[in-house]
Structure 1
Amino acid sequence: MNPIFKKAFLPLIILILSFNFNSFADNSNNFSVEYPQIIIAKVSHTIKIKANADLLNQIKTDSSHILINGINMPYEIEESDLIVNYKFRHKEIVKIQIGELIQSTEINPIPLWLSIFPPLIAILMALSFKEVFSALFVGLFSGTLIIYSYKGSSIFIAFFKAIFAISDTYIINSVNDSGHISIIVFSMLIGSMVTLISKNGGMQGIVNILSRYANTAKSGQLVTWFLGVLIFFDDYANTLVVGNTMRPVTDRLKVSREKLAYIVDSTAAPVASVAMITTWIGIELSYIQSATVQIGVTESPYNIFLNSLPSRFYPFFTLAFMLFLIYKGKDFGPMLKAEKLARQNHLTKQDPNIQKPNGDNELEMAANVTPRWYNAGIPILIVILGTLGGLLYTGWDAAMWADTSLGFSKKLANVIGASDSYQALLWSSLSAVLAAVALSIGQRILSLQETTESLLTGFKTMLTAILILVLAWALADITKDLHTADFISNALISINVAPQILPALTFILSALIAFSTGSSWGTMAILYPLILPASWYLSHSAGMSDEASMNIFYIVVSAILAGSVLGDHCSPISDTTILSSLASSCNHIEHVRTQLPYALTVGSISIFIGLIPAAYGVSYWIIFPVGLISLYSIVHFFGKKVEE
C-alpha cells in the first residue's frame, strides 16, 4: 500500500467505519424510529420513536403533534421513547413528522390473509398424511418462509433463513421458557412413575383386588369401568393395564372383546382429560398459556383449566353412558350383536394385521414379582395430595383467607388461581418418583439398575409427546407473530358467527381433525393457539363483557379437548384405539365399528344439550341432569337386553 495513502486516508477510513450512524441520525433529525421486526397489514403495531433530550423536552412543553403520512397520531411517552400505535395497510412509504423534522421509510407489511397458511398447511398435511410431526414442521417452515420473504430477502435466501429461524429462533425460544421446561420435566417424571409402578407390581396389585368382585358379566364390566376410572393419570397406562388384566376375567364371564375394548378405550382419554393430575395436564396448561399470552388474559392457566371442567361434556357423558349400558344390561347397534355372540362363547380375535408397537412391554410387571397394591397406591396418593398441597402453599394468602365476606369455594378458587401450578406439579411428581424408587429398591423388588432402566424407559415413553409439544409451541409463536388469531376473528366477524355457536363448531372441527390424524394432542396443538384467541376477540366484537367473553373462552377450551377425544375414539388410526384393540385382543376394525355409534351418540348429546345451551348461559345444574336423562333414555328405549 502506498505510504501516502496509509498516512492520509487510512485514519479517515477507520474514523468512518467506527462512526455511529444511528447517533448521526439522532443528532441531525433529533429522533430515530424503531419499527417492529415483523409487520402485518391491517393490524395495529407499536412504533417506538427515540427522541433526544431537546426534542423530548420540546414535545413535553408545547405538546407537538406526531404525524404519520399526514395523520395526527396519539402517542404516549415512556422514558425517552414516544410510543405510537399504527396500522400498516399495504406497501408504502411511511413518513413520520414531528414539527419540521421528517423521516421516511419504505415498509412492506405481510398481508394478513397469509397468516392463516402455517396452521392451515399443518392441518391439511395432518389430514392428508395422517402424521402430526411432519405437519407441524411444515406449518412452522411455511410461517418462517413467509416472514423472511417479506423482509426483503430473495426466495433462495429466505429459504435458508427460514430453516435457521426454525432452530435458533422458534424452537429454541419454545423451550427457553421456565413454564415449558417445567411441563417437559413433569411429563417425564409422570411417565417414569407410571412405568416404575407397573414394573414393581403395584398396578397389578390394584387390579387383583378389584377383579375379585367380578362374578357376572355386569359386575365384570363394572369393575373394568371402575378400574379405568381409577387409573386416571395416563391414558396409555390405563389402556394397557386394564385391557391386559381384565381380558381373562371378562372372557370367563362371556363379555365380548368388543365391549371390553370399548370400556377400556372410553375410560382412557376421557378420564385423563378431566382429572386434575395426569400426563395431559401439563400439555393442556401450556396450550392455554400460549393463548392467554396472545390476548393478555392474566388468569392463571390452572384456574382456566378448573373453570373449563364443567363444560367438558363429552368425557363426562361418555363415562355416564357406559354406566347406563352396564347397569341396564343393554346394548344397540353392532355392539349388541357382538355381546350376544360372546354369551354364546363366540369371541372375536385380535386382528393379525395390527402389529404390536415396539416397546409395548414397558408397562408389564417384572418377572417373579409379587403384586402389592400399595406400591402403586402410595406414589399415586403422593402425586394427588402433593399437587393439592403445592397449589395451596404457593397460592396461600392469609389476608384473603381471613376475609369473612368470601365463601369457602371462592377463597379456594382464589388460592388455586394465584398458585404456581408448575411448581406444585414438579414437587409432587418428583416426590412420587422417589417414593416409587424407595418402594421398589427397599423391598428388593427391583435392583438399582432395573429401577434406573425403568425410569429411563418411562422418560422415553414421553418423548413423542414432548416432540409434539416443542413443535406446537414453535408453531404457536409463529401464529402469534403473524397475528393469525386476528385473521380468524375478523373472518368469523365478517360472516356473523355468533360467539355462542363457536364452541359447537370448534368441537366438530376438533373431532374431524383428530379422526383424520389419530392424535388428540396433535389436534390440540394445532387448534388451541388459533381458536382460543379468536373466541376472545369474536366475543368482544359482539359487544360481550369480559366476564361473558371469558365464559365462552372456558367452553371453547373444553370444546377443543373434548372434540379431540371424540375424534380419537372414532379414528381407526388412533394410538389409544389401536392399543385398546391390542390390550383386549379384539379385532381392531370390529372395535372401531362397534364403538363408533356409541361415540357419535354421546357426541351429539354433548353438542345439542351441552355446548350450545352452556354458551347461551344455561346453568350446568340444568344441562347435566337433562343430558344424563337423555342418555339414559337412549339406552332404555333403543337398547336391547343381553342375557347373562
Structure 2
Amino acid sequence: MERNMKIGVIAAVSIIALFVLSLLISSTPDNADNSIKFGILTLLPPLVAIALAFITKETILSLFIGVFIGEFMLCVNDLNIVSTAINAFLQLGTDVIACMADPWNAGIVLQCLLIGGIIQLVTKMGGAKALADEFAKRANTPRKAQLFTWLLGLCVFFDDYANSLIVGPIMRPVMDKLHVSREKLAFVVDATAAPVAGIAIISTWIGLEISLIAAGFKSVGVTNVTGFGIFLQTIPYRFYNIFILIFIVISALTLYEFGPMKKAEQAARARKEDEEIIVPEAPGFDEVKPVEGIKLTVWNAIIPIGTLIIGALIAFYWSGYTAILGGEDQALITLMKTAPLGFDGIFQALSQSDASVALFQAALLASIVAIVMAVGEKILTMEEAISEWVGGMKTIVITGVILLLAWSLGTVIGNIGTADYLVGVLSKSIPAFIVPTLIFILGALISFATGTSYGTMSILMPLAIPLAWAISTGDMGFTIVCTSGVLTGAIFGDHCSPISDTTILSSMGTSCNHIDHVSTQIYYAIFVASVAILIGYIPAGFGVPFYISLPIGIVILYIGLKILGEKVDFDEVEA
C-alpha cells in the first residue's frame, strides 16, 4: 500500500510539473530563437539527467528522462500535456534512431562492440591473465601499479575511446590484486584518455582542433598563421590537461587521497585477500576466466592488442590519405603524391582521417587475428571462438545503450539551445584579464551539460577567438591563451560529466560503477581545475608566461593534496 502511494505521489508530481512546464513554454513567443524562447529552462534536460543519475544511480533511466523532458519542451504547443507527451515519446524514438544512423556514432558503437569481443577472446586464451601476471611482477605495489597505468595511458595517445577500452581491462586484475579501488583505476584511465588525446600532435582529435582554430583566426582576418602552428603554441597553456596528468603521479607517489576517493581506497585496502569484488551496475569481464589447462602466454594478449593499436594507426593514415586524394585541396594532394610518408604527409593524413571508421576497421582486423590464434593454438574451436567473441560484444551492449541516450540528449540540448543560452548569459562585458578564465569556465559548463568535448569546441571556438582578438586589440599571445581555454575547458567539463561518452567508456573498461566513478573523480577534477584557473588562466590573463605558472601550479597541487588528503596505505588501514 505504501509503495502504491509513493508511485501515486510521483505520478501526480510529474503531471503537475509537466503542466507547469507547458504553461511556461506556451506563454513565450513562437517566433523566438529557442535559446531565448526557453531561457533558463534550456538547462532543465541536462540538469535533470545529471541530478537523477546521482540520486537514483540509474544512468539509463536518468538519461531517458532527460531526453524525454527535452523532447517534451520542443513539442509543447498548448496545455494538452497528453498529446505533447505522446509526440515527445515518438520524437524521442526518431532521434535515438537518427543518432544510431549517424556514421560517426555507428562506427563508435561498432568498434566498442568489437573491442569487447577482442577482450573476451584475449581473456579466454589466457593472454590477459598472463599479461596481468607479468605486469604484477613489475607493478607490485599500489604506487607502481598506478604509475604503470599512467604510462600505458600515455602510450595509447592516439584516441581516448581506444585508451579507455584497452588500458582498463589490462590493468584491472593488477589493481584488484594490489587492493587499489576500481574508482581510482577508472580515474587514472579517464584522466589519461581525453587529456592526452587532446594535446597529442597525432590523434583523432587534432583534425577538428586545428580546423576550428584556423577558421577562428580566418574570421578575424589573420591568414598568415596555420591551425597547427597555433595548436602547438596552445600546448603549454593547456593547464588542466597538464596538471591532471601530473596530479595522477603526485597522488600515486604519495598515496594521499581525499573526498569519496579516500573512502573507496580505504575500502579496497581493507578488503580481505580472497574476498570477491562485487561491483553493482558495472558491466565488465570479471566473470570470464581462461580456458582450463592452457599454457599462459603474454603473446595471446600482445598480438591481438598490438594488431588493434598498429592497425588503428595504419587505418587512420589510410583514411586520411584517401580523403585528401579525393578532395579538392591541391596543395595537400601534391603533398600526398610527393612525400606521403614525410612528417607533414603523415600528420595531414592522420588529421583528415575518419576516426570511427578507422577504429572499426582496426578492431575488425584484431578480432580476426584473435579468432585465428584461438583456433590455431587449439584453445577454442571455431564455433567456440566466435561464440566467445559475440559474448564479449554482449557485455558492451549496455554501454552502447548509454551512449545512444547520451548522444540523443546532446541532440535535444542542441535543439533547445542550451549552449547558446549559456554563451549569451556568460559572455557579457568583462575585463580583459578574466577572459581566458571565463572562456575556460564557459567551455566546462557547456561540456558538462552536453557531455561532449567536440560539440563544445565547435560551439565556443568561433566565438572565443573573435572575442579575445577584439578585447586584446589583436594581441596574438592573449588570443592563444583564450584558444587554449576553449580546448581545455571542454575537456574538463567532459571529464566531470556523467553523460560524457569517455566517462562512460572509462567506467565500462574498468568494470567500475558509473556513478561511483563520476562521484569520486569529480572532486579531483574540480581541485585540479581550480589550480588551473588560479595559477594558470588568471595569471595568463595578466601576461604571466607559462614557464612560471606551471612549476608553481605543480607545487600547489602537491601542497593542496597534502592539506586536503590523507595517506592511505596497508599499515594505516590495518591499524
The question of a shared fold, defined as TM-score above 0.5 by the shorter chain, is answered with yes
Q: 3-state SS of the aligned residue for 2:192? A: helix
CA-to-partner distance for each residue in 1:112-168, whole Å, 9 max, x for gaps?
231653552332342145344344333433343344434x89654443333222223
The answer to which structure has the higher strand fraction is: 1
Shift of 1:451: 2.1
Task: Give the alignment of 1:484-503 within 5 angstroms.
Answer: 484-494=418-428, 496=430, 499-503=435-439
The aligned residue for residue 101 of structure 2 is: 176
Shift of 1:429: 1.6
The aligned residue for residue 194 of structure 2 is: 273
Q: Which segments of 5 or more consecutive residues in structure 2 lack a partner in the other structure?
A: 1-27, 220-226, 322-331
CA-to-partner distance for each residue in 1:461-514, whole Å, 9 max, x for gaps?
332332233233333333444444333322223464964223442476489x6x
The reply on whether 1:399 has 2:399 as its aligned counterpart is no
How many angstroms apart in 1 are the aligned matches of 2:534 and 2:496? 15
Shift of 1:388: 2.0
Match of 1:245 among 152, 174, 189: 174
How many angstroms apart in 2 are the aligned matches of 1:335 and 1:479? 30
Q: 3-state SS of the aligned residue for 1:370? A: coil
The aligned residue for residue 41 of structure 2 is: 117
Specify whether residues 246 and 166 from structure 1 end up closer, same or farther in structure 2 by C-alpha distance, changes over 3 A only: closer
The aligned residue for residue 161 of structure 1 is: 87
Shift of 1:411: 4.8
Match of 1:470 among 404, 413, 416: 404
Question: 8 Å contact 1:145–1:162 — kept in the other structure?
Answer: yes
Return the letter of the residue paired with 1:163.
F
How many angstroms apart in 2 are the aligned matches of 1:389 and 1:613? 42
The aligned residue for residue 364 of structure 2 is: 430
The reply on whether 1:126 has 2:50 as its aligned counterpart is yes
The aligned residue for residue 21 of structure 2 is: none
Question: 8 Å contact 2:406–2:451 — kept in the other structure?
Answer: yes
Q: 3-state SS of the aligned residue for 1:372? A: coil
The reply on whether 1:449 has 2:375 as its aligned counterpart is no
Task: Give the alignment of 1:332-343 within 5 angstroms.
Answer: none
The aligned residue for residue 69 of structure 2 is: 142
How many angstroms apart in 1 are the aligned matches of 2:407 and 2:523? 35
The aligned residue for residue 540 of structure 1 is: 466
Return the letter of the residue paired with 1:166.
L
How many angstroms apart in 1 are the aligned matches of 2:206 and 2:481? 17
Specify whether residues 322 and 476 from structure 1 end up closer, same or farther in structure 2 by C-alpha distance, changes over 3 A only: closer
The reply on whether 1:323 has 2:249 as its aligned counterpart is yes
Identity %: 21
Question: 8 Å contact 1:235–1:576 — kept in the other structure?
Answer: yes
Task: Give the alignment of 1:229-240 within 5 angstroms.
Answer: 233-235=162-164, 238-239=167-168
Return the letter of the residue paired with 1:212.
K
Question: 8 Å contact 1:234–1:268 — kept in the other structure?
Answer: yes
How many angstroms apart in 2 are the aligned matches of 1:440 and 1:309? 43
| 197-206 or 237-246, which deviates more | 237-246
Question: 8 Å contact 1:205–1:372 — kept in the other structure?
Answer: yes
How many angstroms apart in 2 are the aligned matches of 1:639 and 1:319? 18
Task: Give the alignment of 1:359-438 within 5 angstroms.
Answer: 360-362=285-287, 364-396=289-321, 397=332, 399-400=334-335, 411-438=345-372
How many angstroms apart in 2 are the aligned matches of 1:637 and 1:133? 37
How many angstroms apart in 2 are the aligned matches of 1:402 and 1:575? 38
The aligned residue for residue 193 of structure 1 is: 118
How many angstroms apart in 2 are the aligned matches of 1:433 and 1:220? 28
Shift of 1:330: 6.8
Specify whether residues 510 and 206 from structure 1 end up closer, same or farther in structure 2 by C-alpha distance, changes over 3 A only: farther
Question: 8 Å contact 1:500–1:552 — kept in the other structure?
Answer: yes
The aligned residue for residue 17 of structure 1 is: none
Question: 8 Å contact 1:532–1:557 — kept in the other structure?
Answer: no
- Aligned residue pairs, count: 497
Question: 8 Å contact 1:488–1:534 — kept in the other structure?
Answer: no
How many angstroms apart in 2 are the aligned matches of 1:129 and 1:263? 20
Specify whether residues 270 and 135 from structure 1 end up closer, same or farther in structure 2 by C-alpha distance, changes over 3 A only: same
How many angstroms apart in 1 are the aligned matches of 2:362 and 2:416? 38
Question: 8 Å contact 1:183–1:286 — kept in the other structure?
Answer: no
Return the letter of the residue paired with 2:441.
L
How many angstroms apart in 2 are the aligned matches of 1:214 and 1:111? 52
Question: 8 Å contact 1:535–1:552 — kept in the other structure?
Answer: no
| 600-609 or 416-425, which deviates more | 600-609
How many angstroms apart in 2 are the aligned matches of 1:446 and 1:627? 53
Task: Give the alignment of 1:487-566 within 5 angstroms.
Answer: 487-494=421-428, 496=430, 499-506=435-442, 509=445, 525=451, 529=455, 532-534=458-460, 536-537=462-463, 539-541=465-467, 544=470, 552=482, 555-565=485-495
The aligned residue for residue 24 of structure 2 is: none
TM-score (normalised: structure 2): 0.66
Match of 2:395 among 461, 464, 469: 461
Q: 3-state SS of the aligned residue for 2:436? A: coil
Specify whether residues 466 and 502 from structure 1 end up closer, same or farther in structure 2 by C-alpha distance, changes over 3 A only: farther
How many angstroms apart in 2 are the aligned matches of 1:531 and 1:475? 18
Q: 3-state SS of the aligned residue for 1:444? A: coil
Return the letter of the residue paired with 1:136.
L
Question: 8 Å contact 1:401–1:411 — kept in the other structure?
Answer: yes
CA-to-partner distance for each residue in 1:297-333, whole Å, 9 max, x for gaps?
99xxx999x9898766556534433434555x67477
CA-to-partner distance for each residue in 1:29-54, whole Å, 9 max, x for gaps?
xxxxxxxxxxxxxxxxxxxxxxxxxx
Shift of 1:628: 3.9
Q: 3-state SS of the aligned residue for 1:212? A: helix
The reply on whether 1:264 has 2:185 as its aligned counterpart is yes
How many angstroms apart in 1 are the aligned matches of 2:98 and 2:91? 10
Shift of 1:188: 1.7
Question: 8 Å contact 2:150–2:189 — kept in the other structure?
Answer: no
Question: 8 Å contact 1:144–1:166 — kept in the other structure?
Answer: yes
TM-score (normalised: structure 1): 0.60
How many angstroms apart in 1 are the aligned matches of 2:519 and 2:277? 15
Return the letter of the residue paired with 1:188.
L
How many angstroms apart in 1 are the aligned matches of 2:88 and 2:296? 53
Shift of 1:262: 6.8
The answer to which structure has the higher helix fraction is: 2
Question: 8 Å contact 1:149–1:158 — kept in the other structure?
Answer: yes
Shift of 1:270: 1.6
Q: 3-state SS of the aligned residue for 1:369? A: coil
CA-to-partner distance for each residue in 1:543-581, whole Å, 9 max, x for gaps?
55899879756643443333443577xxxx999689979
Question: 8 Å contact 2:422–2:442 — kept in the other structure?
Answer: no
How many angstroms apart in 2 are the aligned matches of 1:166 and 1:287? 29
How many angstroms apart in 2 are the aligned matches of 1:526 and 1:244? 30
Match of 1:205 among 130, 137, 145: 130
Question: 8 Å contact 2:284–2:509 — kept in the other structure?
Answer: no
Return the letter of the residue paired with 1:428.
A
Q: 3-state SS of the aligned residue for 1:371? A: coil
Question: 8 Å contact 1:123–1:526 — kept in the other structure?
Answer: no
Question: 8 Å contact 2:435–2:468 — kept in the other structure?
Answer: yes
Return the letter of the residue paired with 2:190.
A
